[in-house]
A and B are shown apart, each in its own frame.
Chain A
């Protein structure tokens, strides 16, 4: 029943297009009307998605308002850039990508509601969206019930896998283990102090990190502390760090707390050029708020830094700045969000269809050679094979690449021995 109204919409539209009617001035005004040369809609769209002979509609679902707008703005910008570039290169199966943007407003039920609207009313072929795990968890049942396709950009805690989601960020073991190995070897680190914000991602990440430190690196965790989201006072925990004198401070503090933590760490006289600090939550985006002078010398462990020296990345950074302004910075998640539309396009072309089931089945093995982070490939578990990198924060707010894994790291959302 659900595809009846869509068919009704499609045929008059097609007739109008065939007639080249002036009723569609936007399409006739396109600079290069190269769209519409792809395979017939009936063959590439058997489930009634919003696909016409010349266009395909996708959804963008992030928080443009509310607390999370700080973080999600970069993702929205990256996805729009990717869509624009794909269109400039001829679109997907000869169709131009059109997007409908919805605002999750930093509110998880709103995310679920908007996801449902995008799938049921707009029939979007895919959704690029969500940022926090909470929003993804809210959207997941909707994606599964209405059989949608979500491209999720954030590094996250793992313990999840769905036919209807492609995780373009790293899961926890991918992000953390290589970084811990590196710092243990490089700095001879034996004792670690963990500090995080109090919710699922830091807690799961620290659990994995603790197991790794204790069982694999044979080191010791001398403290593990959590502060409520939004905490702005860290002097007590900084004193504890001074007392326990760990070789490494390992942090996954997020949001506004991050800014407070690093400012107070600096003010307390902790010199990050002498005290090793490894963070998995600070990207170039966060440093904008923290201030380079407060965090210079800290190490961050993730898969992408804006300063990566390769041709793909240079072009990406230049295009991003051209579209969004010279001063914008690009963090790990922004880059992962940029992968979403591209991976979807490549998968659609591999499957030769927009159908969600076919895309889900065709996803494993899809490669994207033009990724700014370098070559990536989708794993059977719908996460990405990717390199893990360690960067050192500099005064100007950028990271200097210090280390990267030689090979792609396999995603392992349900790590054995770490749960």
Chain B
């Protein structure tokens, strides 16, 4: 297959392909992190995850428009503010949803599935009515476009590097918040034993609300970042939801490390296979491998050991 290409060409392609795999890995982690927190820590299957992401994307689009109209001189830096606003908007909506809908359904996991699916439909139609059914184009500052030339033949996309950096940063922040902060300890206490946690004075309702808000907020940041690589429309969230669930379930619920390991293995498998065969076949084989492994290890790659 590669007989006709020079060693130098192949070398650079493999380096770039390695980067493609890493970028896919970062995208998966970023998508799945919010869902992993909600699913892992609260046991809620949030089918509206993609719509929270798209809210972030729309916020980014609105911020971009605002800057173009009123502050064109600061346009090159708008993206950072947009991500912050996306986090706040999605997080606030998440907390509202938790208060209005999810908290009534904690003991009925299948009902939350249905309720959040309904919520996703409602949000899609809301976006359609508010922003119109057509996709919107988010304009990016010039420095975020194009690629970095590492050598003559190796080029790395700038937005890919940006997503990678962002993913590392957010993962570190989330890990710190969950495993080092006082609030994180409370979250983990509630996960392990809700009744006992309540008995020792933890406000479990508040913990739930903030956890859900945090998960949705991270989805908002992911959506904001994905305006660089994907589309922004009322139903774009649906493009991400399947991969997101795949990563979370394969990684094992309730484990941040599991999510990362799972994102890494799925993205590397997929991007390697994609290079040697067609895109559709690569997807089929990746899914088959995931199904096979889940049959052997139904709890996912990493599972939290709890006394049942």
Q: Evaluate whether A70 and B240 lie within 8 angstroms (CB atoms) in the complex, with A233-B27, A236-B271, A236-B279 already known.
A: no
In the assembled complex, the Cα of A263 lies from the Cα of B134 at a distance in Å of 18
In the assembled complex, the Cα of A267 lies from the Cα of B8 at a distance in Å of 22
Measured between beta carbons, the chain B residues less than 8 angstroms from A288 are 134-137
Contact with A along B257-299 (1 / 0, CB 8 A): 0000000000000110011001110110000000000000000
A69 touches B279 (CB 8 A): no
B229 touches A239 (CB 8 A): no
Choose, from B33-41, B139-147, B248-256, the stretch at the interface.
Answer: B139-147
A269 touches B147 (CB 8 A): yes
**In the complex, which residue of chain A has the Cβ closest to the Cβ of B149?**
A269
| Chain A interface extent, by class | 35 or more
Interface class of chain A by DSSP? helix
B234 touches A267 (CB 8 A): no
Number of interface residues of B (CB under 8 A): 52
Contact with B along A155-168 (1 / 0, CB 8 A): 00000000000000
In the assembled complex, the Cα of A80 lies from the Cα of B282 at a distance in Å of 44
Contact with B along A284-309 (1 / 0, CB 8 A): 01111111110000000000000000
B120-149 contacts to A, CB under 8 A, are 125, 128, 132-139, 145-147, 149
A264 touches B157 (CB 8 A): yes
B13 touches A242 (CB 8 A): yes
Measured between beta carbons, the chain A residues less than 8 angstroms from B44 are none
Q: Which of B125, B149, B157, B232 contacts A267 (CB 8 A)?
A: B157
A289 touches B233 (CB 8 A): yes
Q: Evaluate whether A239 and B138 lie within 8 angstroms (CB atoms) in the complex, with A65-B125, A225-B279, A267-B147 already known.
A: no
Q: Does A198 touch B at the CB level, under 8 Å?
A: yes
Q: Evaluate whether A198 and B280 lie within 8 angstroms (CB atoms) in the complex, with A256-B135, A259-B135, A264-B157 already known.
A: yes
A227 touches B279 (CB 8 A): yes
B133 touches A64 (CB 8 A): yes
In the assembled complex, the Cα of A30 lies from the Cα of B230 at a distance in Å of 48
In the assembled complex, the Cα of A290 lies from the Cα of B235 at a distance in Å of 15
In the assembled complex, the Cα of A232 lies from the Cα of B146 at a distance in Å of 18
Minimal beta-carbon separation of B293 from chain A (angstroms) = 21
Q: Does A235 touch B at the CB level, under 8 Å?
A: yes
A220-245 contacts to B, CB under 8 A, are 224-228, 230-233, 235-240, 242-243
A226 touches B278 (CB 8 A): yes
**In the complex, which residue of chain A has the Cβ closest to the Cβ of B235?**
A67
B9 touches A232 (CB 8 A): no
**In the complex, which residue of chain B has the Cβ closest to the Cβ of A263?**
B229
Q: Does A268 touch B at the CB level, under 8 Å?
A: yes
B283 touches A259 (CB 8 A): no
B134 touches A285 (CB 8 A): yes
B135 touches A70 (CB 8 A): yes
Measured between beta carbons, the chain B residues less than 8 angstroms from A240 are 275
Contact with A along B169-197 (1 / 0, CB 8 A): 00000000000000000000000000000
Q: Does B155 touch A at the CB level, under 8 Å?
A: yes
Measured between beta carbons, the chain B residues less than 8 angstroms from A173 are none
Q: Does B23 touch A at the CB level, under 8 Å?
A: yes
The 6 closest A-B pairs by CB, nearest first: A289-B135, A259-B231, A235-B20, A269-B147, A267-B157, A236-B274
7 interchain pairs, CB-CB under 8 A: A70-B233, A226-B279, A233-B27, A235-B20, A236-B275, A259-B231, A288-B135
